[in-house]
Amino acid sequence: MVWRFTGIISSLITLSFLSALVIILSIILEWYPWLISLACLMILVYAYLVIVLLPKLRWRRWRYEVREDEVEIQQGVIIVKKTLIPMIRVQHVDMKQGPFLRKYNLATIVISTAATTHEIPALEMSEAEEIRQFISNKVKVAEEDV
C-alpha cells in the first residue's frame, strides 16, 4: 500500500511536468487535437503503470531472508536481482522512516558493508526493529576483518 503512495508522490512530480510540457507544446506548436489526446493517453498509461501496476509487482517480487550468518535479498520486476551479504561483512545497520512510512507504522532497514548498501524497504515496525537487533548482535560477534 505504502509502495503505491511513494509511487504516487514520485510520479506526481514527473506527471505534472509531463502534462505541463504537453500543454505548452500544444499552445506553442499548435498541435493537432489527435496528437494532444494521444499524449494525454500516454500520460494516463504511464500513471497507471507507476501508481498501480509497478508497486504491486515490486512488492510481490521483494523477498528477504535473514539467516544465521547471512542476509539474502531478492528484488526487481523485469530484471530479478538476488544479493547475498554475509553477516561478517556488515558494518552497520540503519533504520529509516519517512512521513508516509511512519503513518503506517513501517520502516526501512538499510544494511551497509564496507563497499555497498542494501535496503529492505517498508517492513512492519516490530519486524524491522527485530531484524536490526538481530543483525547488530551478529555483527558484534563477528570478527574484525576488513
Q: Total residues at the site for other proteins (CB under 8 A)?
A: 22
Q: 110 to 129, contacts with other proteins by CB under 8 A?
A: 113-116, 118
Angstrom distance (rounded) from CA 67 to CA 55: 26
Answer positive or negative: Cα dihedral of 124, 94, 68, 137.
Answer: negative
Q: Is 77 exposed, middle or buried (0-12, 13-18, 19+ CB in 10 A)?
A: middle
Q: How far apart are CA 121 and CA 128, in angstroms?
A: 9
Per-residue binder mask for other proteins (CB under 8 A), 4-43, x = binder: ----------------------------------------
Q: Does 81 bind other proteins (CB under 8 A)?
A: yes
Between CA 41 and CA 49, with CA 46 as vertex, the angle to 5 degrees is 130
Question: What binding mask, one character per residue, do residues 83-102 give for other proteins by CB under 8 A, x or -?
Answer: xxxx--x-------------
Shortest distance (Å) from residue 89 CB to other proteins:
5
Which positions ≥6 away from 32 have C-beta within 8 Å?
none
The one among 20, 38, 67, 136 contacting other proteins by CB under 8 A: 67
Residues that bind other proteins (CB under 8 A): 67, 69-70, 72, 76, 78-86, 89, 113-116, 118, 145-146
